[in-house]
Amino acid sequence: MRDLKLTPSNIKKLNSNKGLVSLLSREPLDYSKVIRYINYEKKLKKLQVELVKLQTWAIQNNERIIILFQGRDAAGKGGAIRRATERINPRHFRIIALPKPTQEEQSQWYFQRYVNQFPKEGEIVFFDRSWYNRAVVEPVNGFCTEKEHEIFMSQVNDFERMVTESGTRLVKIYMSISKKEQAKRFEDIKSDPLKQWKMTPVDEKAQELWNKYTFYKNKMFAKTNDGGIPFKIIRANRKTSARIAVIEHILESIPYDKNIEI
């Protein structure tokens, strides 16, 4: 991307407190990146105001909303969820990132432990990975049998149809990154003591199993596009633009009252 021009508007942004701090924290100095970041922060703030309106509307109208995130390891799902939730009322949303199923959960209907986390009236639930683990992650890594995978694929569209026909709104987002970008992010995680906990044994094999993930991902998309609820694919190589795209899609997907008082 070419450098942005030093227009009077951009010079004003660089001379702001946020612009100066951001500019001086970067080596080498890159004013175009600083301007893009300031523009991102300004856009993000406006979208977060709309998310507050959406949540207020959901509370007042007893809406139940699920926003589901899937994607490659290190695709930025967690970061996008943090930006979407950092300004809304924490009493009326939950972020769900379920661990490995317990022995009891393994004996239940596959969807049961996810249904147990569904929103009550006036609540938004964000799934950081979801039942779609069985569509991609589990078969790729041998965590389920081929038969279990086939059963899931045969049930998932009907399951989501029952969920939405019962009055729960469902937004499905898939965050997509390139193999090169994933490798870069893994290296960043490994070299940062504050992020190393994020690296799991599954992540360690993600590059090696890239093509296998692609195969099952495409099967998942084909199934959900065929009579189901399709995923919105967000290109996520650039984190800031991906976060903006995620929030814009959420706002476009739910018919909230944009004139509601907050």
Whichever domain contains 185, its CATH number is 3.40.50.300
Nearest to 74 by CA among 249, 220, 210, 247: 210
Q: Name the amino acid, one letter, at 70.
A: Q
* Buried/exposed code over 130-162 (b: 16+ C-beta within 10 A; e: otherwise): bbbbbbbbbbbbeebeeeebeebbeebbebbee
pLDDT tens digit at each of 262 positions of the chain: 445 666 777 766 656 766 555 655 555 566 778 888 889 999 999 999 999 999 999 999 999 999 999 999 999 999 999 999 999 999 999 999 999 999 999 999 999 999 999 999 999 999 999 999 999 999 999 999 999 999 999 999 999 999 999 999 999 999 999 999 999 999 999 999 999 999 999 999 999 999 999 999 999 999 999 999 999 999 999 999 999 999 999 999 999 999 999 9
Domain-located, residue 236? yes
Q: d(Cα 250, Cα 86) in Å, to the nearest integer?
A: 15
Q: Name the amino acid, one letter, at 16.
A: S
pTM of the predicted model as reported, rounded to 2 decimal places? 0.88
Domain-located, residue 39? no
Domain-located, residue 91? yes
Domain-located, residue 159? yes
For residue 177 the two structure tokens come to 């990154």
Q: Name the amino acid, one letter, at 62.
A: N
Domain-located, residue 29? no
Residue 205, domain extent: 45-253
Tell me if 222 sits within 8 A of 135, measured CB to CB.
Answer: no
Give the CB-side neighbour count of residue 151, counting CA atoms within 13 A.
8
Domain-located, residue 32? no
Domain-located, residue 145? yes
Domain-located, residue 179? yes
Q: How many folded domains does the chain comprise?
A: 1
